[in-house]
């Protein structure tokens, strides 16, 4: 038997109902915040991630699926390609390639799709995983550096989690500084690590040489006491970064969005500047971050584009769905009516009636004329239908149909045009809060 590749899995009904629910709610929220969808390729040039995410990050150095594409001729050098491990770099690449800075105002994009990382599969982590993300990017003259932009993005995410019914989330917030103050902070980190570098994990010993900021992102439990004693970025912010971060906090407070400061939060990507954040949820255990993001004010320039400060986030949809399942706020797809055709020639009449009812938004499942009534009713109950509608030759001739409530056992006779009104809540939004 051929099975799904380790670290991937099939998403099957009814679980996919939860995924559709999350994505539908996200799309609606993005609409009212004036974000528009962007779809970038799953395949990108490897250099894109080396230059943006950082060659010394775990993502690029250990986790990417990358290979050399075959050259057209033996004399040609093949191009190195990668399955995208994240999508911000691709969005910024598209911003530059298509000169989107020429459009008026800030560009607000969102995306939904798979990402790929070769990491050890564990709860909430897969080699093919899904993200819902958004980016706000544009020239400084359009207001892209405003702390209000940061706070509005965070407020939108808080609204999304609340709207999904996820309770108990925590917003962790930090400022990771900028090009002006980071060299001073990195030097302080190196000095503090110099005498203890031999006591930290092998990965952090490598990070000490290449980018000591990554040490703060270490998850090894034995390293945490050492990390807790390291200098804090907040003590090294320059005046502009400090002012920006204070303003972000003020706007969040005014909006009523609770947050906690986390001086150790740096995120795992080299392009982050200033505001960095994570939304965490306790039901997910050690891997408890469901949303992460931050500013990347110099990313466009590093990729050969114009100055275009930006901020974005990615929602780990796999973990978000897990959090929903833990909270019990999972939508259930319900068949409103199971049509039970009885007798030869009734399949056609059932199909015609089903078409009429579906146009009214009623969820229909149609049985088969070869089924006896007992089998049809048993099938209707097993599939979770709310009602069974019996359709035989007598019903077709008279225009009167037996409609049975499968929960109560009550059965009434209804004419064709009154079927909809007799199942008052049939035509509803299956993703509405009321239905959950």
- pLDDT surpassing 90 at residue 107: yes
State mean pLDDT over 303-311. 94
Of 88, 6, 63, nearest to 315 by C-alpha is: 88
Mean pLDDT, residues 303-325 taken together: 91
CATH tag for 15-179+241-327 (out of 3.30.930.10, 3.30.420.240, 3.30.565.10, 1.10.3720.10): 3.30.930.10
Place of tokens 């099939």: 10
Bond before 277 cis per omega within 30 degrees: no
Strand partners, 277: 173, 293
Q: What is the pLDDT of residues 328-354, one digit of tens each?
A: 666 667 789 999 999 999 999 999 999
- According to CATH, the topology of domain 337-435 is Rossmann fold (3.40.50)
Q: Is 233 helix (H, G, I), strand (E, B) or coil?
A: helix
Q: How far apart are the first and last CA of the chain?
A: 38
Beta carbons within 10 angstroms of residue 105's beta carbon: 11
Residues 6+ apart with CB under 8 A from 271: 52, 53, 54, 88, 89, 296, 298, 299, 302
- The pLDDT score that the predictor gives to residue 178 is 84
> Which whole number is the average pLDDT over 316-323?
88
Residue 73 confidence (pLDDT): 57
Average pLDDT over residues 18-43: 94
Note the Cα 412 to chain centre separation in Å. Answer: 45
Secondary structure letter of residue 76 according to DSSP: S
pLDDT at position 291, please? 93
One DSSP character per residue, 250-300 reads HHHHHHT---EE-TT---S-TT-EEEEEEEEEGGGTTS-EEEEEEE-TTHH
Q: How far apart are CA 189 and CA 185, in angstroms?
A: 6
β-strands 107-116, 289-295 pairing: unpaired
Q: Which among 290, 330, 311, 326 is positioned nearest to 130, based on CA atoms?
A: 290
Higher pLDDT, 120 or 83: 83
The per-residue pLDDT for 426 is 40
When computed from its CA atoms, the radius of gyration of the chain, rounded to whole angstroms, is: 27
The two structure tokens encoding residue 391: 């359709």
Mind listing the pLDDT tens digit for each residue in 189-248?
Answer: 888 888 787 888 887 888 777 778 778 777 788 888 888 888 888 888 889 999 999 999
Regarding predicted confidence, which is higher, 378 or 428? Answer: 378
Query: CATH 3.30.930.10 in the chain, residues?
Result: 15-179+241-327
Is 134:153 a contact under the CB 8 Å cutoff?
Answer: yes
Asked if residue 316 has pLDDT above 70, the reply is: yes
Q: Residue 216 has which token pair?
A: 């703060």
Please give the Cα distance from 130 to 15 (Å, whole number).
14
Domain with CATH 3.40.50.800 in the chain: 337-435
Residue pair 248/150 in contact by the 8 Å Cβ criterion? yes
Burial degree of 138 (CB within 10 A; 0-12, 13-18, 19+): buried
- Mean pLDDT for 111-116 is 95
pLDDT band with cut points at 50, 70 and 90 for residue 284 = low
Residues 201, 408: Cα–Cα separation, whole Å: 63
Q: H-helix or E-strand containing 253?
A: helix 239-255
What's the pLDDT score for residue 204? 83
Average pLDDT over residues 317-325: 86
pTM for the model stands at: 0.82
Mean pLDDT value across the chain: 86
* Whether the Cβ atoms of residue 277 and residue 264 lie closer than 8 Å to each other: no
122 phi and psi, to 5 degrees?
-155, 180
> Which tops the pLDDT comparison, 73 or 309?
309
pLDDT band at 432 (very low <50, low <70, confident <90, very high): very low
Mean pLDDT of the 379-397 span: 90
Contact 122, 85 (CB under 8 A): no
Whether 115 contacts 298, CB under 8 Å: no
The share of the chain scoring above pLDDT 90, in percent, equals: 48
135 Cβ contact partners less than 8 Å away, ≥ 6 residues apart? 88, 91, 92, 107, 108, 109, 110, 310, 311, 312
d(CA 365, CA 354): 8
């Amino acid at each position: 038997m051929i099975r799904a590749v380790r670290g991937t899995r099939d998403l099957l009904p009814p679980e996919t109902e939860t995924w559709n629910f999350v994505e539908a709610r996200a799309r609606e929220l993005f609409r009212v915040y004036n974000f528009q969808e962007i779809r970038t390729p799953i395949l990108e040039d490897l250099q894109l991630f080396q230059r943006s995410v950082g060659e010394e990050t775990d993502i690029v150095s250990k986790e990417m699926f990358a290979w050399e594409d075959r050259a057209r001729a033996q004399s040609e050098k093949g191009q190195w390609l990668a399955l995208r491990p994240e999508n911000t770099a691709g969005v910024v690449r598209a911003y530059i390639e298509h000169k989107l800075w020429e459009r008026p105002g800030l560009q607000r994009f969102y995306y939904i799709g798979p990402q790929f990382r070769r990491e050890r599969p564990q709860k909430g982590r897969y080699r093919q995983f899904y993200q819902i993300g958004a980016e706000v990017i544009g020239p400084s003259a359009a207001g892209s550096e405003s702390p209000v932009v940061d706070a509005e993005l965070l407020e939108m995410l808080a609204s999304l989690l609340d709207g999904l019914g996820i309770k108990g989330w925590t917003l962790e917030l930090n400022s990771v500084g900028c090009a002006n103050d980071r060299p001073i902070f990195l030097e302080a980190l190196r000095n503090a690590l110099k005498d203890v570098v031999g006591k930290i994990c092998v990965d952090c010993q490598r990070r000490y040489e290449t980018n000591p900021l990554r040490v703060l992102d270490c998850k090894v439990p034995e390293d945490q006491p050492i990390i807790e004693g390291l200098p804090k970025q907040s003590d090294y912010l320059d005046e502009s970064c400090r002012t920006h971060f204070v303003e972000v906090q003020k706007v969040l407070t005014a909006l009523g969005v609770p947050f906690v400061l986390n001086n150790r939060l740096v995120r795992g990507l080299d392009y982050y500047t200033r505001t960095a954040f994570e939304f965490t949820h306790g039901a997910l255990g050690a891997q408890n971050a469901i949303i992460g993001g931050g500013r990347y004010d110099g990313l466009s320039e590093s990729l050969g584009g114009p100055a275009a400060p930006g901020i974005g986030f990615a929602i780990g949809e796999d973990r978000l769905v897990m959090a929903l399942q833990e909270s019990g706020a999972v939508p259930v797809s319900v068949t409103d009516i199971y049509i039970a055709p009885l007798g030869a020639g009734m399949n056609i009449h059932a199909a015609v009636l089903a078409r009429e009812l579906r146009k009214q938004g009623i969820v229909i499942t149609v049985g088969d004329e070869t089924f006896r009534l007992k089998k049809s009713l048993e099938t209707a109950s097993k599939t979770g239908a709310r009602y069974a509608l019996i359709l035989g030759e007598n019903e077709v001739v008279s225009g009167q149909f037996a409609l049975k409530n499968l929960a109560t056992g009550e059965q009434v006779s209804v004419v064709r045009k009154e079927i909809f009104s007799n199942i008052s809540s049939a035509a509803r939004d299956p993703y509405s809060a009321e239905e959950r």
